[in-house]
Structure 1
Amino acid sequence: MNQTCTWCQHGRTFLRDVAQGMFLITHSGLAMVGLTSLALVLALWLNPHWLHSAEGAVFSWLRDRQVLLSWLPQDTTERATALRLQDLPKPQVAVAEWLARKYKVAPEPVAALVAESYALSKKTKLAPHFILAVMAIESNFHPYVQSQAGAQGLMQVVTEIHAKRYEAYGGRLAAFDPIANVRVGVAVLADAIKMRNGSVEEGLKFYLGGYALTEDGGYVAKVLAEQAQLDAVAAGQKPALP
């Protein structure tokens, strides 16, 4: 009986020592965390440049992983909107060069739009040359065009109607950012085609004027003709420029 009590006493002593040790370790660890945090806060407070750099790094990490995208919109000022032609596949180079000559714009920004159209094509199932053809007819590849109805940018998206779509890119002024405008415009166009049971022609008409449109003024024919020319250019042909 006494031997059993002795073992019980030793067990209680052991458990008490372990608990005290864990408390000391935890307390010391928390104290170190607290001191480290305090030192970090003081360092950032004394050096605002470090704080700005740290914030930028955190925001960039969150944006890259698309975390809280609506609260941390894409910083379009840090993204290049031009590409070297040699970075594109040959068919895309031919298309970019042809468009640059036809619309009298620099080839490097057009190259970026060509590459973006091919990337969007994979996501939306819209042909890349179809996307580029809409851009061509809508704006002649001039990103700052605005219509009397308030349609803006390369794809002539009515920003007032589709302002919500621009939130992920920083707000309404992103309508004049070429890549943001194309992405929003393609999303609107893809939705229009879906609403018209997959008809490209009817979707284009809806994209042009919505439910109120009665006559497209040859718009659909122009877009499809432009697409056909781009298909020919990518295949190695050289359609005559106007």
Structure 2
Amino acid sequence: MRSINVFMRDVGNGLLEISHNSLALLGLAVVVALVFVAGRPDMRHQSETWALGWLQERHVSRAAESDDLTIAAAEPDAVERATAVDPKELTKQQAALAKWISRRYNVALEPIGRLVQEAWTIGHHVGLDPTLILAIAAIESRFNPFAQSAMGAQGLMQVMTRVHVDKYEPFGGSHAAFDPISNLKVGVQVLRECIARAGGLEAGLRWYVGAANLDDDGGYMGKVLSEQDHMKRVAGGGAVPPNAPLGVRKASPAAPAAREASATSTAADIPSSPAQAAEQVALAQ
């Protein structure tokens, strides 16, 4: 019995000694491998790539098994698609106007701030007042980037997408009509062409809304200019209640170019409806 106990103790001590030595050898091997890899940039890069890939695979595997949709269908880059800006990045004028528009039209401040910022950039580039661009967006769509009229005008600036398909090509195609920034840029280009064709801002707005050859534009031009007046006052530091009524500014006497265009129109040129008028104007661009 004593001999068995001695034997078992000796075997146990031997195993313990071997395990200690094995762990020591393993640790030494790991240290040597790390030093070797650290001295080889190519191997270090491969090791890091492998480790990162393994971690990503584990993350994807766990996400796929999750019943939380925000984890299972997570898109870390989705924020890059958002049309938004930190209000702190806006100038004092832009921030004041963005806040006012946000309250007046019940839309989030961050995306409106981005549109205000873009209107400033585009407006200064093409020589149009940014508040005019924003006033048109307000009257046309109330800042709804997915709006569509009965006539087929789409997006923020209510551009006739099917007519101005070519203008959306630089933005990837006609579906860009529902991207507010792309729609804003295309709308401004259409507006510039309308103003140039009509010979003035007020007449250009009538072309833009498709009422160039009609006696009445439904008050559109007056509404846009009235809303622009509100926005100018806000941007200039003035106080305008968010629920201020939308006045109707009276039109100035028709510009010579507009009168000439009207006088030279034949009966066949006069559209029978606002929808036909809008399409004729768009096709004329």
Structure 1 consecutive aligned stretches of length 4 or more whose deviation exceeds 2 Å: 77-80, 210-214
- Which amino acid in the other structure matches residue 108 of structure 1? E
Q: Does the 8 Å CA contact 2:211/2:217 hold for their aligned counterparts?
A: no
> Pick from 81, 84, 89: which aligns with 1:82?
84
Deviations 1:62-104 (A, max 9, x none): xxxxxxxxxxxxxxx9554110101000110000000000000
Structure 1: distance between partners of 2:108 and 2:148: 20
Structure 1: distance between partners of 2:143 and 2:149: 14
Displacement of 1:214: 3.1
Number of positions where the alignment pairs a residue of Structure 1 with one of Structure 2: 166
Q: Which residue of 2 aligns with 1:177?
A: 179
State the Cα RMSD in Å. Answer: 1.6
Q: Which residue of 1 aligns with 2:215?
A: 214
Q: Which residue of 2 aligns with 1:224?
A: 225
| Partner-residue secondary structure (3-state), 1:132 | helix
Q: Which residue of 2 aligns with 1:110?
A: 112
Displacement of 1:241: 2.2
Q: Which runs of 5+ in 2 are unaligned?
A: 1-78, 244-285
> Pick from 165, 168, 172: which aligns with 1:166?
168
Identity %: 47
Q: Does the 8 Å CA contact 1:189/1:204 hold for their aligned counterparts?
A: yes
- Which amino acid in the other structure matches residue 85 of structure 1? P
The reply to whether residue 190 of structure 1 matches residue 192 of structure 2 is yes
Greater Cα radius of gyration, structure 1 or 2: 2
Q: Which residue of 2 aligns with 1:235?
A: 236
Deviations 1:87-140 (A, max 9, x none): 000110000000000000001000010011001112211100000000000000
Q: Which residue of 2 aligns with 1:143?
A: 145
Q: Does the 8 Å CA contact 2:203/2:212 hold for their aligned counterparts?
A: no
Q: Which residue of 1 aligns with 2:201?
A: 200
Deviations 1:176-218 (A, max 9, x none): 0000000000000011001112x11000000000544331111
Structure 2: distance between partners of 1:172 and 1:189: 18
> Pick from 131, 134, 151: which aligns with 1:132?
134
Q: Does the 8 Å CA contact 1:206/1:213 hold for their aligned counterparts?
A: no
Q: Which runs of 5+ in 1 are unaligned?
A: 1-76
- Which amino acid in the other structure matches residue 214 of structure 1? D
- Which amino acid in the other structure matches residue 204 of structure 1? L
Structure 1: distance between partners of 2:94 and 2:210: 31
Relative to the length of structure 1, the TM-score reads 0.66
Structure 2: distance between partners of 1:187 and 1:154: 14
Structure 2: distance between partners of 1:207 and 1:178: 18
- Which amino acid in the other structure matches residue 132 of structure 2? F
Q: Does the 8 Å CA contact 2:101/2:242 hold for their aligned counterparts?
A: no
Structure with bigger RCO (C-alpha 8 Å, 6+ apart): 1
Q: Which residue of 1 aligns with 2:13?
A: none
Rate the CA distance shift 1:78–1:212 in 2: closer, same or farther, 3 A.
farther
